Structure 1
Amino acid sequence: MWLQLAILGMIAALLPLAIVWASKDADKYRKLAWVTVFLTFDLIMFGAFTRLTDSGLGCPDWPGCYGHANPLQAHADISAAQAAMPTGPVTVVKAWIEMIHRYLAMAVGVLVVALMVIAWMQWRKSKHAQTRFSPWLPTFLLGFICLQGAFGAWTVTMKLQPVIVTIHLLLGMSLLGLLGWLAARQTEHMPVAATSAALRLPGALAIGVLMMQIALGGWVSTNYATLACTDYPLCDGVLVPTMDFVNGFTLWRPLGMTAAGDYLPFPALTAIHWVHRMFAFVLL
């Protein structure tokens, strides 16, 4: 199965690699970096689609599907699980959605490996003279994407535990940002004005606040708290509804449950949604 998955990952990466090498752009490394950014963005969008269609457990094991490299080979197991629980998390369609998400992730991994190999080769060839080919960031990205893959595995094996899924989302956004930084380094820019140095701290604070809002949005999504408030700007007709912050923001707990093993009360979902909504005003 592992060999088959590796082959499928390389096949998924062939199209973007072919686009890069067939392009007329003389700087293939820069082109590859931007193609990797684009594919990573697509991966994040497809990950959102996977969540919205409740396909995260379409294949309840990892990295394959019932021990196979694709849903076609696992069709009998998927059909049996679907017949046993028609409204459950496993269906043929959901299995394909989940596995396509994994194939895209493997393709991004292959592209990052290609970036790292080319960077090391060009850096040594130039005798460390071309700083844009510095291999340290691509090498770090390879380790980073392995960590992201581990959280992808735990997302499945830990049955969509909210804190794991939220970290998985944040790592995906961070990976996109780091790849964007790598790609931007490949293009020469105008000299940065000295006054822009004064914007570094406010800029860093703004990025931190933005990441916090993304994390809160992920926490809303992973706890299925989107409809806890059905009106806007009020929540159930009041500005400050009844809320349970303790259970709502206890990080280490199963999906839909409290840390004590009870069902998560509705005021906890309201607290999750309300905090995300209020923090949006801070961001503005």
Structure 2
Amino acid sequence: MDTVLARTGLREVSPERYLRIAWLSALSLYGVILTGALVRLTGSGLACESWPGCEGGAFFPALGDHSTIEFGNRVFALFPLVLTLVAWVAARRASGLPRWVTWVAALTFLGTLAQAPLGLLTIRLDLHPLMVMTHFLLALVVLAGAVVVAVEALGNARGRVPSPVPPWLRGVGIVLVVACGTLVVTGALSTAAGPHPGDSAEIDRFWNLLDAVYVHVRATAVFGIGFVLLLAYLVRHRARVGLLLPVALGLVGLLLVQMAVGEIQWRNQLPWWLVLIHVVLAAGVWAWTVGLAAALWRTPARLTRA
């Protein structure tokens, strides 16, 4: 591919420019999670009968809230598709980036591309909750890939230092990612078992809501224990870890808001707009956790300055 890029006359991409590309890619993937959740929670999942157009014989939707929301999500999905492709191609021309970043960027693009046929299959299967959940979880996987690339791009552009934390704590970071992934999966199972199937019509639910919430709460406890260990070390060695401590504290704040929203939505019988906020916050917690773990292993110099 390097030969092809050279023949097309593509110039070397500066580390600063690639940093902007990488973060735009990650932000766009976060945005499409928001629009996708909006489709499901407003019951707009089957508002467009065709794909990629909305109606048979007409590409654009007729006037209506549900069809506009569904079609708007499809249009917005073009942005992360283009940006992840650009991030992949530019990674081959960005000076200083290790080869593995190119592979992660490539897999992120391919995962984003796979969302299109997966979305079509989800519609063809009348929003089967297992398919909807898979659609959502793939979105989180590619978001994680984009965040890892963005953190590496930050280190490449602004300098990188040896990790200020011991190997065992970096291992805790990996455990946190796994625990947070479990949280996300059980949260998706809770949504799949909940009252928002993705369409205004009756759709089969997946699993039992109370069982799903039970597992989700237990996974939260595991994540919390690991995070307390990480935070305790960062506080004790705050002079050494620099801005890694504020980054971790920011995650604490996000977690507290997420927990509060989760409790409020449960006590108010899961109104769709509160569930939307909960899902968007969950994606933020996931991305933040992945970013923090990546920074513990490959630490950008900017994050170690007090």
**TM-based fold match above 0.5:** yes
Q: What is the match of residue 96 of structure 1? A: 68
Q: What is the match of residue 171 of structure 2? A: 201
Change beyond 3 A, Cα 1:255–1:113:
same
1:69 equivalent to 2:59? Answer: yes
Which stretch has the larger CA shift, 188-197 or 34-43?
A: 188-197
Change beyond 3 A, Cα 1:204–1:158:
same
Change beyond 3 A, Cα 1:283–1:70:
same
**Partners of 2:148 and 2:193 in 1: how far apart?**
31
**Partners of 2:53 and 2:166 in 1: how far apart?**
48
| Aligned residue type for 1:223 | A
Q: Give the secondary structure class of the aligned counterpart of 2:118.
A: helix
Deviation string for 1:186-222 (max 9, x for gaps)?
A: 1234422374322233222221111111111111112
Change beyond 3 A, Cα 1:135–1:275:
closer
1:48 equivalent to 2:18? Answer: no
Q: What is the match of residue 185 of structure 1? A: 152
CA contact 1:225–1:272 (8 Å) conserved in 2? no
CA contact 1:225–1:269 (8 Å) conserved in 2? no
Work out which of the residue numbers 24, 27, 41 in structure 1 matches 2:16. 27
| Aligned residue type for 1:272 | A
| Aligned residue type for 2:166 | S
Q: What is the match of residue 84 of structure 1? A: none
Q: What is the match of residue 276 of structure 1? A: 216
Change beyond 3 A, Cα 1:198–1:257:
closer
User: Alpha-carbon deviation of 1:29?
Assistant: 2.0
1:222 equivalent to 2:162? Answer: no
**Partners of 2:66 and 2:184 in 1: how far apart?**
26
CA contact 1:225–1:270 (8 Å) conserved in 2? no
| Aligned residue type for 2:60 | N
Change beyond 3 A, Cα 1:57–1:116:
same
Deviation string for 1:48-84 (max 9, x for gaps)?
A: 221221111111332221233321xxx3xxx8xxxxx
**Partners of 1:225 and 1:54 in 2: how far apart?**
10
**Partners of 1:60 and 1:278 in 2: how far apart?**
39
User: Alpha-carbon deviation of 1:278?
Assistant: 3.8
**Partners of 2:187 and 2:80 in 1: how far apart?**
25
TM-score normalised by structure 2 residue count: 0.58
For these two proteins, the number of residue pairs brought into alignment is: 202
Name stretches of at least 5 consecutive residues in structure 1 with no aligned partner.
1-24, 80-91, 227-253, 259-263
Change beyond 3 A, Cα 1:271–1:63:
same
**Partners of 1:40 and 1:134 in 2: how far apart?**
17
CA contact 2:26–2:147 (8 Å) conserved in 1? yes
Q: Give the secondary structure class of the aligned counterpart of 1:27.
A: helix
Give the structure with the higher percent helix: 2
**Partners of 2:150 and 2:23 in 1: how far apart?**
6
Q: After TM superposition, what 4+ stretches of structure 1 lie above 6 angstroms from structure 2?
A: none
Change beyond 3 A, Cα 1:133–1:195:
closer
- Which structure ranks higher in relative contact order (CA pairs < 8 Å, sequence separation ≥ 6)? 2
| Aligned residue type for 2:85 | V
CA contact 2:48–2:54 (8 Å) conserved in 1? yes
Deviation string for 1:112-165 (max 9, x for gaps)?
A: 122222233x26xx6xx6537953222222211122323222221111111111
Q: What is the match of residue 288 of structure 2? A: none
TM-score normalised by structure 1 residue count: 0.62
